[in-house]
Homo-oligomer: A and B are copies of this chain.
Amino acid sequence: MNERTNTVNNGVNVEALLDAREALTEAPEAGKFKWRATCTWLNGTHVSSSVEQFYGLGEEQSHRKKFTFDSDHPEIFASEDNGATPIEFVLVGLAGCLTAGIASVAQNREIQLNSVKATLEAGMDIAGILGIDSNVRNGFDGVKVHFEIDADASREDIEALVAQSQKRSAVYDIITNPTNAVVTVN
């Protein structure tokens, strides 16, 4: 690995992440996180969800502030469109995860990023959620993510950044692989 020259600055503290990796290798329990959200129904398909507390590094943690999000269905579904559609939040999560990953990997590989833009598109046949055809799934039938990256690197190195980000992306993993989800009620 090259000696770190500190001339590349993507705003990611890679040294801290490498230190964390070393620390967690010694103390694996600290790597066990719990992410949380709460949700309150407002009216119709309009709900308000918040994230603030989470658990990790062996103790309760908190964001600097509570982040609150309204979600709703659009007007063409006879709703009031008071927020993004729940399914769009999944795309927002995927975009954020892959893009943050690209910045982190670029920093580690000493590649200066100048700009990164992503466009995401996910197909969905609503015959599933409306119960018209039980052979049609409720969720996305596929997701396409396209990056436009301007970086001080070869095309090959930029492609490798994206590939590595995918390989370590939590949200990409959640979308492309099954996860057990248990739903209970009072």
List residues of A whose CB falls within 8 A of some B CB.
10-13, 16-17, 20-21, 24-25, 28, 31-41, 43-47, 49, 51, 54, 56-57, 61, 63-64, 67, 69, 71-79, 81, 83-100, 102-104, 113, 115-133, 137-149, 155, 158-159, 162, 166, 168-186
Contact = CB atoms under 8 A, between A and B. Distances in A.
Closest 4 CB pairs of A and B: A11-B44, A71-B96, A89-B93, A16-B78
Copies of this chain, whole number: 2
A84 to B, nearest CB: 4
A24 B96 contact: no
Given A76-B56, A115-B41, A185-B159, A93 B121 contact: no
Contacts of A37: 88, 91-92, 94-95, 118-120
A65 B35 CA distance: 29
Contacts of A45: 11-12, 100, 103-104
B162 A10 contact: no
